């Protein structure tokens, strides 16, 4: 009998090893294929994550709790990275590869928060709670006999939410976030781990008489005669508090300023060249020593936060003038965006240029950024009235196809310089006629100007944009 059991265990181990080898081979050859097609950056991120998916399942086949803990740790690591990168002051994400594969476009969109709280930190708290339950269940099996069922339910809910977020990414924002995809996969893996955990627990689990139809899922969701729900809720609550404090810290202006190093240059070399066509509206002294160009989208939440701060910086630094160029994240006018995305961004860009025709671009710029949720065609006319435009002339202007051509010219300039997200800032005057990209946003720009003012000289060779 013992020999038969040992033989069965050996066969199981061989099957698990075989599965691991097969999955590893698939990932290796997929990586090779992507690299040969110039997609090594994609697989450089997804490859290790997919390996983590496979490893978690293989471990869970033998040790469900350990496999679950491993998957949750991977998910928590990804979620924390996205949580910190949610703040644009953190700089560009590692997975900003193109306009269609761009973590920042997704992770900094209006869909990346729930009541102002980054969903990435909520995800981190969820994964942390699973880690906590998995760890405590190792020593208290009897108290967590329903943990597998609870894990299945919560992971299914998370997977359904992942499907919703994937839809938003593809059909609304028009870009993919590779790290987000990593978490989507982890949620599916957790369903498998939950099933394996529950399979092992079924030998000792007997459903209660009052909820037999649900097969124990009722008890799991109600926390009846089991510690799984209570522990999961407690660990999640603690995670929300801890990660919430991290998120609040990231939004604190004083802490942001403190995090900007006084001895570091926040400058990178653009991927391409930036061309001006002379139509850009100018804020500040037209003869200023330094020229700052801002690429922005009127429906981009972070652009709305940064815009007034940039004007304040220019007001405080007369040696700088600010130029504005459009980059609407919408396929309605931007061929580099796959989907409609910010549906009112193109029209608002046109409206802003029409306001500029009447000498009030910056007034419209300010009021549009303050009213990002109200930028429909009718809303734009109302905003035009509020800043004193000739509405009849404004209506004629927005229907002029040449105005839209100007917006598309800005988009072409953004593509040429290698823009990866909004807002993006470019500065000229530091290295003669060469443009440099600000590696960050307003805080990094402010620090750069302070260093220039005190006579510091930037390095002769700058890192390339996207190489960090």
Do 407 and 365 reside in the same domain of the chain?
A: yes
Domain-embedded: residue 448: yes
Decide which of 197, 225, 253 is a domain's last residue.
253
For residue 367, give the CATH number of its domain. Answer: 3.40.30.10
Which helix (H) or strand (E) covers residue 457, if one does?
none
Write out the residue range of the structural domain in which residue 14 sits.
10-31+38-253
Do 240 and 92 reside in the same domain of the chain?
A: yes
Domain-embedded: residue 466: no
- Does the pLDDT at position 199 exceed 60? yes
Decide which of 203, 238, 253 is a domain's last residue.
253
- Does the pLDDT at position 173 exceed 80? no
**Each residue's pLDDT tens digit, 296-326:** 999 987 788 889 999 999 999 999 999 999 9
Beta bridge partners of 322: 283, 292
- As given in the structure block, the two tokens for residue 324 are 């504005």
**Each residue's pLDDT tens digit, 257-280:** 444 455 678 898 898 999 999 999
| Alpha-carbon distance values, 320 to 306, 317, 450 (Å) | 16, 6, 12
Which is nearest to 124 in space by CA: 89, 84, 165?
Answer: 84
* 262-267 contact pairs (CB < 8 A, 24+): 262/447, 264/447, 265/448, 265/451, 265/458, 265/459, 265/462, 266/438, 266/439, 266/440, 266/444, 266/445, 266/447, 266/448, 267/427, 267/430, 267/436, 267/437, 267/438, 267/439, 267/448, 267/458, 267/462
Do 213 and 282 reside in the same domain of the chain?
A: no
Do 26 and 156 reside in the same domain of the chain?
A: yes
pLDDT at 424: 92
Do 233 and 310 reside in the same domain of the chain?
A: no
Domain-embedded: residue 20: yes
Do 179 and 272 reside in the same domain of the chain?
A: no
Domain-embedded: residue 458: no
Do 243 and 265 reside in the same domain of the chain?
A: no
Do 208 and 272 reside in the same domain of the chain?
A: no
Domain-embedded: residue 247: yes
Domain-embedded: residue 202: yes
53 pLDDT band, cuts 50/70/90, is very high
Lowest mean pLDDT among 47-51, 83-87, 314-318: 83-87
Do 81 and 59 reside in the same domain of the chain?
A: yes
348 pLDDT band, cuts 50/70/90, is very high
For residue 141, give the CATH number of its domain. Answer: 1.20.1440.130
**Each residue's pLDDT tens digit, 395-404:** 999 999 999 9
Domain-embedded: residue 5: no
Do 337 and 379 reside in the same domain of the chain?
A: yes
- Does the pLDDT at position 463 exceed 60? yes
User: Could you give the count of Cα atoms lying within 13 Å of 137 in the half-sphere of its Cβ?
Assistant: 31
Q: Looking at the 3D structure of the chain, how many domains does it have?
A: 2
Q: What percent of the chain has pLDDT over 90?
A: 51
Please report how the helices 147-167 and 119-139 are oriented relative to each other, as an axis angle in degrees rounded to 10.
Answer: 160
Q: What percent of the chain has pLDDT over 70?
A: 81
Decide which of 196, 227, 253 is a domain's last residue.
253
pTM: 0.58
Domain-embedded: residue 76: yes
Pairing between β-strand 113-114 and β-strand 267-268 as defined by DSSP bridges: unpaired
417 or 173: which leads in pLDDT: 417
- Does the pLDDT at position 197 exceed 80? yes
Do 246 and 267 reside in the same domain of the chain?
A: no
Do 123 and 241 reside in the same domain of the chain?
A: yes
């Amino acid at each position: 009998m013992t020999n038969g059991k040992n033989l069965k265990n050996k066969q199981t181990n061989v099957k698990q090893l075989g599965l691991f080898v097969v999955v590893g081979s698939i990932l290796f050859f997929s990586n090779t294929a992507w690299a040969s097609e110039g997609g090594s950056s994609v697989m450089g991120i997804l490859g290790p994550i997919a390996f983590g998916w496979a490893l978690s399942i293989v471990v869970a086949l033998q040790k469900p709790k350990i496999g679950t803990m491993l998957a949750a740790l991977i998910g928590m690591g990804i979620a924390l990275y996205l949580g910190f990168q949610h703040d644009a002051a953190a700089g560009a994400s590692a997975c900003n590869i193109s306009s269609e594969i761009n973590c920042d476009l997704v992770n900094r969109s209006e869909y990346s928060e729930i009541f102002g709280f980054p969903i990435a930190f909520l995800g981190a708290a969820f994964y942390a709670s699973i880690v906590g339950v998995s760890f405590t269940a190792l020593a208290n099996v009897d108290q967590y006999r329903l943990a597998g069922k609870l894990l299945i339910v919560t992971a299914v809910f998370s997977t359904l939410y992942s499907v919703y977020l994937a839809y938003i990414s593809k059909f609304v924002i028009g870009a993919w976030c590779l790290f987000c995809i990593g978490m989507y996969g982890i949620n599916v893996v957790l369903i498998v781990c939950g099933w394996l955990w529950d399979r092992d627990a079924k030998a000792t689990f007997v459903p209660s008489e009052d909820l037999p139809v649900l097969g124990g899922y009722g008890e799991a969701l109600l926390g009846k005669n089991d510690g799984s729900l209570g522990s999961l809720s407690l660990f999640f609550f603690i995670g929300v508090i801890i990660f919430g404090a991290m998120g609040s810290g990231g939004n604190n202006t004083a802490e942001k300023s403190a995090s900007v190093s006084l001895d570091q240059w926040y400058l990178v070399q653009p991927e391409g060249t930036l061309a001006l066509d002379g139509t850009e509206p100018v804020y500040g002294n037209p003869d200023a020593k330094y020229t700052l160009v801002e690429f922005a989208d009127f429906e981009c939440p972070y652009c709305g936060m940064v815009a007034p701060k940039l004007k304040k910086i220019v007001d405080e630094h007369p040696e700088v003038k600010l130029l504005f160029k459009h980059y609407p994240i919408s396929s309605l006018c931007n061929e580099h965006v796959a989907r409609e995305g910010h549906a009112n961004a193109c029209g608002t860009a046109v409206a802003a240029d029409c306001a500029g025709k009447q000498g009030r671009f910056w007034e419209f710029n300010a009021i549009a950024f303050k009213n990002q949720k109200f930028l429909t065609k009718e809303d734009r006319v109302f905003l035009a009235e509020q800043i004193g435009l000739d509405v009849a002339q404004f209506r004629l202007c927005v229907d002029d196809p040449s105005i839209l051509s100007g917006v598309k010219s800005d988009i072409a300039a953004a593509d040429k310089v290698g823009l990866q997200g909004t807002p993006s800032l470019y500065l000229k005057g530091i290295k003669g006629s060469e443009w440099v990209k600000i590696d960050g946003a307003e805080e990094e720009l402010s620090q750069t100007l302070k260093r220039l003012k005190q006579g510091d000289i930037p390095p002769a060779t700058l890192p390339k944009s996207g190489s960090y």
